Chains A and B, each alone.
Chain A
Amino acid sequence: MAWLLVRLKLRLLRNALRGSRQARGAFIFSCIAAAVVAVLMFLGLAAQRGQSEGVAVAATTFTSLAFGWLILPLLVFGLDSTLDPATLALYPLRTRPLAFGLLAASAAGAWPAANLIGLLGVTVGVARGALGVLFALVAVVLQLLFCIVLARAVTTSLAGLLRSRRGKDFAALLIIPIFALYETFVQLVPRLTAEGKINEHTFDGIDKVLRWTPPGLAAHAIQDASTGHALTGLARLLLLAAIVFLLGLAWIRSLDRALVTVDTSTQAVAVRASALPFAARGLRGTIAARALIYQRREPGAKIFWGIVLVIMAASAVGTVRTPSYLGGLIGSAVIGAAFVGIFNADAIGMTGPAFGFDAMALHSRASWRDYFAGLDLVLLAFAVPLTGLLSFILAFAAGHPLSGFIALAVDLAGVGIGTGLGNMMSVLLPYPVERRVGSPSPRAIDGYRGQVLAATFLILILTGVLLAPVIVAGLLTQHDPAALRLPPLLAASAVYGLGLCTVFRRTAARLAENRLPELCEIAFRSKL
């Protein structure tokens, strides 16, 4: 059974090479990334040789990997067919051999191998002497087993939920903290390391907590065996083995249950719903009502706003405590506005086949104007307060709260420009999208990458260019009394943004008027 499932996993991985060019590219990239991570992790851990904090670095690395194993399967549930017990429920398999098979299948592949190779860096960096190396080898195997069993136990116990609509919604939202963590890592860690604020002593406090976690036990067992405390090290390894064993038992029990039960949480749920709002506002109000409900109920909308805010914060964080803070604040507002447009540059493709509903009402230029106006009103109602609030938070962090008003002026004009450009691109460069397993938001289907890139660059460039007058006005008047300069600056920026939004919306409506069948075709090809 174990060998059969390992071969299944390897076959699934090999079949990735037979998919579309994009899937093949992603698979090759993933393998290369795994190799790079393996080498870097090995070298990073090996470099701890002779360092007093080597064990703390190892414990942190071990724990980070366990965290990755815990989170990633939740995001890519369904990507690996062997993850979901339901796919194997039809076959006459006994739980115990099935569990060993699934365990073996999890250990197969480029990333588990990369983990193993990378972790073996402790045999050089932390272990001393033959006994230390022996303990290191056992500790690495136990650590990997712990990661796999932990991931399996969590995904199996949540399998029913993760197959449900609510579970998928929840898993999709995990992308926001992960993206925020990634941005923090990329933007902050190199800077703080360069400034000396992250050094070997940073891990002191972390290790005091981590040493008692299962990954910490593995790292410290190597240290103990290498410093003459083999019995303590052995006790740690035995404790870790017992944890893996108990976790394995819990997993097998949940596997037993998961094979014969389904999640019914979604079926039982009725949402809090009332009549659609904006009843007196005609087609515009009807579209706005639906868009407003989607902002509340569609996880993609929350992901979009989360990512826009993280991008804005990340683009300013490098300069916010420096004399160039104003440039950072303005740049952050420009980027935020552009991304509001970019994420809404395919309104019809993103609506998907349900656009057929709306299409029945779209038969004139005026109806298209109302359609885009309904979408834009809701978008602006969220974009203005969210981007404005973040601009002020960043201005406060910079110690120059009044500068937040200049950024707010850019926000006011920018979200209008971005939203209007989004309308234009939705008609000029529409593309069908599909929801891919492992990706929390829909992506363009193969063959439409050009449209995505063109829309992205056009919106980025045009937003920057069209915001230039607002930025220049803000900078030229920054030394004038605030009471005199800010009210007209803010009012003019809002009018400028709304004006351009209206111009772009009307142009989009004119272009869309005779393109309904083509736009329907794009929408119907989307798979959501």
Chain B
Amino acid sequence: MSATAIAVQGLHKHFGEKEAVAGIELSIAAGSFAGLVGPNGAGKTTSLSMMTGLLRPDLGRILINGVDVWADPPAAKAVIGVVPAEARLFERLTGRELLEYAGRLRGIDVAACRSRAEELLGVLDLVGDANRLVADYSTGMRKKIALGSALIHNPSVLFLDEPLEGVDPVSADSIRRLLTRFVASGSTVLFSSHVMELVEQVCDHVSIIDKGRIVASGTTDEVRGGKTLHQAFIDLVGTRLDGGEGLSWLGSSSA
């Protein structure tokens, strides 16, 4: 049995009266490609922020490769890479500068930083835009450069929040292949997404979160239970909108 890369125990977080995360338990084996799916406001981003040491939990414990994130943040941060949902980037650096900056922040030797940056720019198809400011990048390019920044120190666990949102199919495919290769080498990926088809395609482990709680977790096949992941998700979370009854005028050709 493989070792546990991410272990979350009894994680809680309140924002005022609102309970954003209400006791999450999660265990992801090393070498997994894990998906965290849930509706908007379910607590995905809050949970990922706490797992990556950027948001202090009210209660609970998070272990990354056996290291307690909140007891020993430097050791935990050294082995993780993070791509947040809204890519938090230094807009006035160029793509190349940003990669070098990310590597140097992680204490990587400058020569290694520069050679890794060039390789990542190539793999992410950003060589032609390497000297443009990140502020001028499209959404897809921002996601790619954020991914490059999260990978430059070769983390063993990668957290991604909506990594393919707004990314064109070609770029999405190159990101997917890069992540698959990363996982094949024994590293672990945990990513949140709304796109069930994508999660179904790439993930071997899925957790469904709703109202701050994990409502299903296991291998993708276990969670699907013979249905599509989309249907399993809808069954667990429920639909929240009616079918548009009342819009009798919609669809007629007259104004």
Answer yes or no: do A and B interact.
yes
User: Once the chains bind, are B101 and A269 in contact (CB under 8 Å)?
Assistant: no
User: Once the chains bind, are A524 and B105 in contact (CB under 8 Å)?
Assistant: no
Residues of A within 8 A of B102 (CB): 357
User: Once the chains bind, are B97 and A293 in contact (CB under 8 Å)?
Assistant: yes
Tell which of A271, A289, A360, A524 touches B133, judged by Cβ atoms closer than 8 Å: A271
Q: Which of B27-35, B88-96, B226-234 contacts A (4 or more CB under 8 A)?
A: B88-96
User: Once the chains bind, are B54 and A165 in contact (CB under 8 Å)?
Assistant: no
Residues of B within 8 A of A275 (CB): 100, 110, 114
Q: Closest CB-CB distance, B161 to chain A, in whole Å?
A: 11
B173 in the interface (beta carbon within 8 A) = no
Q: How far is the CA of A258 from the CA of B52 in the complex (A)?
A: 45
Residues of A within 8 A of B73 (CB): 363, 516
Q: Closest CB-CB distance, A489 to chain B, in whole Å?
A: 39
User: Once the chains bind, are A361 and B106 in contact (CB under 8 Å)?
Assistant: yes
For residues 261 through 288 of chain A, which have their beta carbon under 8 Å from a beta carbon of chain B? 266-267, 269-273, 275-276, 279-280, 282-283, 285-286
User: Once the chains bind, are B86 and A297 in contact (CB under 8 Å)?
Assistant: no
User: Once the chains bind, are B132 and A270 in contact (CB under 8 Å)?
Assistant: yes
Q: Closest CB-CB distance, B232 to chain A, in whole Å?
A: 32
Residues of A within 8 A of B96 (CB): 273
B221 in the interface (beta carbon within 8 A) = no
Interface string of A350-373 (1 = CB under 8 A from B): 001111111111011000000000
User: Which residue of chain A has its CB nearest to the CB of B81?
Assistant: A360
Residues of A within 8 A of B100 (CB): 275-276
Q: Closest CB-CB distance, B233 to chain A, in whole Å?
A: 28
User: Once the chains bind, are A357 and B90 in contact (CB under 8 Å)?
Assistant: yes
Q: Closest CB-CB distance, B48 to chain A, in whole Å?
A: 12
User: Once the chains bind, are A269 and B132 in contact (CB under 8 Å)?
Assistant: yes
B136 in the interface (beta carbon within 8 A) = yes
Residues of B within 8 A of A290 (CB): 90, 93, 101
Residues of A within 8 A of B97 (CB): 273, 276, 293
Q: Closest CB-CB distance, B155 to chain A, in whole Å?
A: 10
Q: How far is the CA of A8 from the CA of B110 in the complex (A)?
A: 56
Residues of A within 8 A of B74 (CB): 363-364
User: Once the chains bind, are B92 and A355 in contact (CB under 8 Å)?
Assistant: no
Tell which of A269, A283, A521 touches B105, judged by Cβ atoms closer than 8 Å: A283
User: Once the chains bind, are B91 and A354 in contact (CB under 8 Å)?
Assistant: yes
User: Once the chains bind, are B104 and A286 in contact (CB under 8 Å)?
Assistant: yes
User: Which residue of chain B has its CB nearest to the CB of A279?
Assistant: B110
B56 in the interface (beta carbon within 8 A) = yes
User: Which residue of chain B has its CB nearest to the CB of A282?
Assistant: B107
Residues of B within 8 A of A520 (CB): 54-55
Tell which of A298, A357, A363 touches B88, judged by Cβ atoms closer than 8 Å: A357
B135 in the interface (beta carbon within 8 A) = yes
User: Which residue of chain A has its CB nearest to the CB of B94?
Assistant: A273
Residues of A within 8 A of B55 (CB): 517, 520-521
B192 in the interface (beta carbon within 8 A) = no
Q: Closest CB-CB distance, B22 to chain A, in whole Å?
A: 19
A185 in the interface (beta carbon within 8 A) = no
Residues of A within 8 A of B194 (CB): none
Q: How far is the CA of A298 from the CA of B110 in the complex (A)?
A: 25
Residues of B within 8 A of A266 (CB): 136
User: Once the chains bind, are A353 and B88 in contact (CB under 8 Å)?
Assistant: yes
User: Once the chains bind, are B131 and A270 in contact (CB under 8 Å)?
Assistant: yes
Q: Closest CB-CB distance, A422 to chain B, in whole Å?
A: 20
User: Once the chains bind, are A356 and B82 in contact (CB under 8 Å)?
Assistant: yes
Residues of B within 8 A of A361 (CB): 77, 105-107
* Of A272, A290, A294, A352, most B-chain CB atoms within 10 Å: A290
Tell which of B54, B92, B104, B107 touches A294, judged by Cβ atoms closer than 8 Å: B92
Interface residues on chain A, number (Cβ under 8 Å)? 41
User: Which residue of chain B has its CB nearest to the CB of A290?
Assistant: B101
Query: Which secondary structure characterizes the binding site on chain B?
Result: mixed
User: Once the chains bind, are B131 and A271 in contact (CB under 8 Å)?
Assistant: yes
Q: How far is the CA of A361 from the CA of B73 in the complex (A)?
A: 10
Residues of A within 8 A of B193 (CB): none
A204 in the interface (beta carbon within 8 A) = no
B65 in the interface (beta carbon within 8 A) = no
A518 in the interface (beta carbon within 8 A) = yes
Interface string of B17-59 (1 = CB under 8 A from A): 0000000000000000000000000000000000001111000
Q: A267-B136, A517-B54 are in contact. Are A286 and B101 (CB under 8 A)?
A: yes
* Of B55, B88, B97, B133, most A-chain CB atoms within 10 Å: B88
Q: How far is the CA of A267 from the CA of B141 in the complex (A)?
A: 13
Q: Closest CB-CB distance, B104 to chain A, in whole Å?
A: 4
Q: How far is the CA of A352 from the CA of B91 in the complex (A)?
A: 11
Q: A273-B97, A293-B93, A354-B89 are in contact. Are A359 and B54 (CB under 8 A)?
A: yes
Residues of B within 8 A of A356 (CB): 54, 82, 84, 88
Residues of A within 8 A of B104 (CB): 276, 279, 283, 285-286, 289
Residues of A within 8 A of B187 (CB): none
Residues of A within 8 A of B56 (CB): 517-518
Tell which of B89, B105, B136 touches A165, judged by Cβ atoms closer than 8 Å: B136
Interface string of B102-138 (1 = CB under 8 A from A): 1011110010001000000000000001011101100
For residues 199 through 236 of chain B, which have their beta carbon under 8 Å from a beta carbon of chain A? none
User: Once the chains bind, are B149 and A357 in contact (CB under 8 Å)?
Assistant: yes
Q: Closest CB-CB distance, B219 to chain A, in whole Å?
A: 31
User: Once the chains bind, are A297 and B106 in contact (CB under 8 Å)?
Assistant: no
Residues of A within 8 A of B86 (CB): 353
For residues 113 through 152 of chain A, which have their beta carbon under 8 Å from a beta carbon of chain B? none
User: Once the chains bind, are A360 and B88 in contact (CB under 8 Å)?
Assistant: no
Residues of B within 8 A of A271 (CB): 94, 131-133
User: Which residue of chain B has its CB nearest to the CB of A281?
Assistant: B104
User: Once the chains bind, are B101 and A354 in contact (CB under 8 Å)?
Assistant: no
User: Which residue of chain A has its CB nearest to the CB of B111?
Assistant: A279
Q: How far is the CA of A280 from the CA of B73 in the complex (A)?
A: 25
Residues of B within 8 A of A282 (CB): 107
For residues 148 through 169 of chain B, which have their beta carbon under 8 Å from a beta carbon of chain A? 149
For residues 286 through 309 of chain A, which have their beta carbon under 8 Å from a beta carbon of chain B? 286, 289-290, 293-294, 297-298
Residues of A within 8 A of B114 (CB): 275
Q: How far is the CA of A122 from the CA of B90 in the complex (A)?
A: 53
Q: Closest CB-CB distance, B118 to chain A, in whole Å?
A: 11
Residues of B within 8 A of A269 (CB): 132-133, 136
Q: How far is the CA of A276 from the CA of B102 in the complex (A)?
A: 11
Q: Closest CB-CB distance, A257 to chain B, in whole Å?
A: 23
User: Once the chains bind, are B101 and A289 in contact (CB under 8 Å)?
Assistant: yes
* Of B105, B106, B114, most A-chain CB atoms within 10 Å: B105
Q: Closest CB-CB distance, A255 to chain B, in whole Å?
A: 26
User: Once the chains bind, are A165 and B135 in contact (CB under 8 Å)?
Assistant: yes
Q: Closest CB-CB distance, B153 to chain A, in whole Å?
A: 9
10 A-B residue pairings within 8 Å (CB atoms): A165-B135, A283-B104, A290-B101, A293-B92, A294-B90, A298-B92, A354-B89, A357-B102, A358-B105, A359-B54
Q: Kindly list 16 other residue pairs between chains A and B, CB separation below 8 angstroms, not including A290-B101, A297-B92.
A: A165-B135, A269-B132, A269-B136, A273-B97, A276-B101, A279-B110, A289-B101, A297-B133, A298-B92, A357-B90, A359-B53, A359-B54, A360-B105, A361-B77, A516-B73, A528-B91
**Closest 6 pairs (CB-CB, A-B):** A353-B88, A517-B56, A363-B74, A286-B104, A270-B131, A361-B105
